[in-house]
Chains A and B, each alone.
Chain A
């Protein structure tokens, strides 16, 4: 339950305790990690999220905010604190342009970190390029986000994650003909399902794209359409809400065993198991873009520790949050390598573009940026299956094959990350 209003009084009374790390919880480690509060001239950093109906993409900026607070309590950037300004575009293109202009032009941010907004990415990609400011994003889902010189996202988005799910389905579940159910949005569902089709073709398999309006009501017809197409696998290239709607229809029609069910990351959300129910045990496979939430790697543990100590009680702990932590951490590491007295937008943009070969247990491959016209450093993931109210890993890190990644592979070769 997340009924924010109720218990507000109780929450206020408990706030002092909630803000402290739980007894025995790991201590967060951030930046210089020297325990000294940064008091110098602030470095202004921005972040834009979309948090309004139809979705909350604030996990990335929430995690980045928590990490920056932790950094500021631990020496900052050689004594300079990070002033992190987060704006919510409310999924409104006009507002998205306004808040980006405010951050980039009025406040003169040196970079944007933790961004998570489908609208803002499409609207502001040109502004970032024109103003030579980098956005180290965390919650991207459209092509504009991955095909821009000044945006680099830590999360994979639907394309690699969806193809990753299909690769598993072909190799482990025997998929021959898959339906890609996605939104009828050209730079989202259309883009991802199109590349899914190319991937299936390259594997000698068939595919069918079933695109629907984001507000579609007749999910039953979408399910029946898949049935009529004679597919053997359904790839739910959808956010969690409508994906659950399709799964509910399938459950109603006893359709679990008629198809293999796979999905990219959106269904890997802490709130999904409660909504799924036992019916989907061992039948729903999800590709995850970052490490499992309960994994034991140092970065995943530190992400939890930072969120415990510096996050708000209602901050989401999802893939976008993990992604925001990673973006913020690599951003801080880049700043720490700079002369604190010469930090400005141009030098920060250069420093970000110089990031290469960073590793984290949250990621399956190296993180890098480089001076390229597009970025997609994260394209390898894991596969989990829904089982007994949780997700269990069924395949550890694996990469995908898609001609979409040809320019990305070339970047990696140029940076010496692969042969």
Chain B
């Protein structure tokens, strides 16, 4: 039984990272209608900048802050320069454009930092408590409880603040929102900034808890999207739950030997199952007509 507990804890730790990414995606998607495939690449750039500041002997807090600033800056760069030009295009076009931005970021990051061995270390890595024989570092707790705090904060922000209200209005109908005088550009800019800061934090956590590899961090956008799909690209609590579920399933599959090497397909499987479940009562148009 203890071994299941160990894998559960391990899965929750990874799942909270997926959830974190998913929340960042959903916040942006709700306000701007953009599914940001560049989220992982922004997180990767943020993690690398943080590492670089550490190498330059900047104090820890300054280095950590640099991750958030980098994430915010890159997200704003796209949100203020490219996204407005695509504002009236189809969702698929908007999403594919972010994929281009992801490739540009990944290319620049690979140009600036070769693939030498690197490690991102936070002071909280050394602190921790033991649970079921497994050491849970404070960094993992920050990732887990941080994602819960961000979830609560994001829900409250969207429900209780004026900007949050504007974001929800934009999500419902961008045209009508513009007509009733909602400052679309300003609200979207706020969403890009918020999402970018979350990407920076996600990158910092991934860089420390997984590995400091820009490619790996970039592609963590996939489980993050799967988590967001679990939340129907709309619900933050469901996205959070989806992220945790993916992480736990992935970890638990380690115990099933034939499936263990294939467990990285968990995000896709879970997302597909959720999509099937969501459309279970839907009837095909032609079927209805028949």
Contact = CB atoms under 8 A, between A and B. Distances in A.
A5 B111 contact: yes
Interface residues of B, number: 50
A240 interface: yes
A252 B9 CA distance: 14
B52 A217 contact: no
Interface string A53-64: 111100000000
Interface in A112-147: none
A316 B116 CA distance: 9
Contacts of B111: 4-5
A54 B113 CA distance: 12
A228 interface: yes
Contacts of B212: 241
Interface in B94-111: 106, 110-111
Nearest to A52: B110
B128 to A, nearest CB: 8
A271 B51 CA distance: 15
Given A52-B110, A222-B254, A215 B216 contact: yes
Contacts of B135: 252-254
A296 interface: no
B92 interface: no
B261 A242 contact: no
B66 interface: no
Given A218-B11, A220-B13, A245-B211, A56 B117 contact: no
Given A252-B125, A275-B117, A228 B216 contact: no
Contact of B7 (A4, A215, A221, A248): A221
B117 A269 contact: yes
B93 interface: no
A241 B114 contact: no
Contact of B3 (A228, A240, A254): A228
Interface in B221-246: 223
A224 interface: yes
A225 B214 CA distance: 26
A272 B231 CA distance: 40
Contacts of A274: 117
A220 B117 contact: no
Interface string A1-24: 111110000000000000000000
Contacts of B214: 53
B124 to A, nearest CB: 11
A1 B254 contact: no
B6 A224 contact: yes
Contacts of B14: 217-218, 220-221
Nearest to B44: A53
B210 A245 contact: yes
A40 to B, nearest CB: 36
A8 B251 CA distance: 45
A213 B261 contact: yes
A228 B261 contact: no
Given A252-B135, A253-B134, A242 B211 contact: yes
Q: Which 10 A-B pairs have the closest CB atoms?
A: A245-B211, A213-B264, A271-B116, A53-B215, A184-B261, A275-B119, A211-B261, A221-B254, A275-B117, A271-B117
